[in-house]
Amino acid sequence: MRILAFDSCGKTASVAVYDGKVVGEVYIDTKQTHSATLLPSADWLLSTLGMKVADMDYIAATVGPGSFTGVRIGMSAAKGMAAGAGLKCIGVSSLYAAAYAAKDCKGLVCAVMDARCGQVYNANFKVDNGSMQRVCEDRALAIDDLIDEVKGEKQVFLIGDGAALCRDRFAERGVGCAVANAGRVGVGAGDVALIAAENAESAVSPEAFAVNYIRLSQAERERNAKLQNKNTEEIK
Amino acid sequence: MISNSVAETERIASEYASGLKAGDVIFFRGDLGAGKTAFVRGLAAGLGIAPETVSSPTFTFVKEYSGGRLPLAHFDMYRVGSPDDLYSIGFFDYLDSDAIVAIEWSENIEAFVAVPHMTVTIERGENDNQRTITVEEV
């Protein structure tokens, strides 16, 4: 099975090719916009491997949550290539893909991506030497709410582009945690490809390939609305 | 600072632009017609962007200008009311870039955006053409 996989949901961009194993991966962590790096990376990787999009069986991509523009760049690339080559798409949660790099740890892995406004996109997984069990759906919540939820856990691992942000807040609150895979903040598309290979039966047509935006949490929005009203009154 | 004309506002802004660095965020306060867009036009000129290309992004939320010393992202938050709105106009993505982010009607987002920024306030002066321009670092 051959898969071309993309991730550009967070601060980093990555492309990988899977052919029974991960045979190549490009990973970019700069301030360059993903629209400038993702397709040249795919082009370079495929040509270096002597492959074409038409040689693939599937196109995989992370479908969110994450940056509005980033999610759309990766999804558009995947949809366009799949449509052109007559392939199906496999969607992967960006948080699951982030947590996947910590699957050999033992404890609770909190995948976290910076959602701004004091919130993170988050999903938690019970991980034990290679097995991953999802504890909650992908969601957006305040960092403090995440800390309240997991503070009783024996061992918490943070992973994802929000890990450093959360670690600082965990430390301020006196709650222990470790950052997993700290040398690399973003998702490697090789992991996206590996997850896609395990879930090939979930492939859909490019037309049906859908983004998973997650809205900032309701409670937070109401609080913000109140704050804003207050603010507007002060201005008057 | 006191400005006595649109041209003077643009010149003040152009000089101000020379001190800006990648990723700086500027909030603008001032009524309709105060000269916020004129100030941004001056900023563009100071960054080496053709000032005549700058117009209000009221309907598009954001206009992006490249080709200068630094990119400039010019936002108008007049119709923005929630973090979701900000998310879906791609606002947060600009904060991660090297662009100077200039925000008109920043009052609408101050309740939920906590980023280091400068505030430029433009108030009407003693006559129709006069403005008082105040810059604060937050």
> Would you call A228 and B111 a contact, using CB atoms and an 8 Å cutoff?
yes
The complex's ipTM works out to: 0.70
**Taking residues B2-12, what's their average pLDDT?**
93
Asked if residue B51 has a cis previous peptide bond (ω within 30° of 0), the answer is no
Tell me the per-residue pLDDT of B44-72, one tens digit each, with 9 for 90 and over.
999 999 999 999 898 889 999 999 999 99
> Would you call A235 and B107 a contact, using CB atoms and an 8 Å cutoff?
yes
CB-CB neighbors (< 8 A) of B110 in chain A: 231
In chain A, domain spans: 2-94+187-208, 96-179
| Residue located via tokens 């690399």 | A184
> Would you call A228 and B112 a contact, using CB atoms and an 8 Å cutoff?
yes
Residues in Cβ contact with A41 at an 8 Å cutoff, skipping those fewer than 6 apart: A13, A14, A15, A26, A28
Q: Distance between the two ends of chain B, CA-based, in angstroms?
A: 18
Tell me the per-residue pLDDT of B60-103, one tens digit each, with 9 for 90 and over.
899 999 999 999 999 999 999 888 888 888 899 899 889 999 99
Fold of A96-179: Nucleotidyltransferase; domain 5 (3.30.420)
Model confidence band, residue A236 (pLDDT cutoffs 50, 70, 90): very low
Write out the residues of chain B at the interface with chain A, using a CB-CB cutoff of 8 A. 81-84, 86-90, 92-93, 95-98, 107-108, 110-114
Please say whether the beta carbons of B39 and B9 come within 8 A. Answer: yes
Of A33, A215, A224, the CB nearest to B112: A224
Output Rg (C-alpha) for chain B, integer angstroms.
14
Strands laid side by side in the A88-92 sheet:
A22-28, A13-19, A2-7, A58-62, A88-92
| Residue located via tokens 């798409």 | A89
User: Please, what are the domains in chain B?
Assistant: 2-137 (3.40.50.300)
Instruction: Identify the CATH assignment for A2-94+187-208 out of 3.40.50.1100, 3.40.718.10, 2.60.120.10, 3.30.420.40.
Output: 3.30.420.40
Beta bridge partners of A22: A18
Please give the angle made by the CA atoms of A161, A167 and A173, to the nearest 5 degrees. Answer: 145
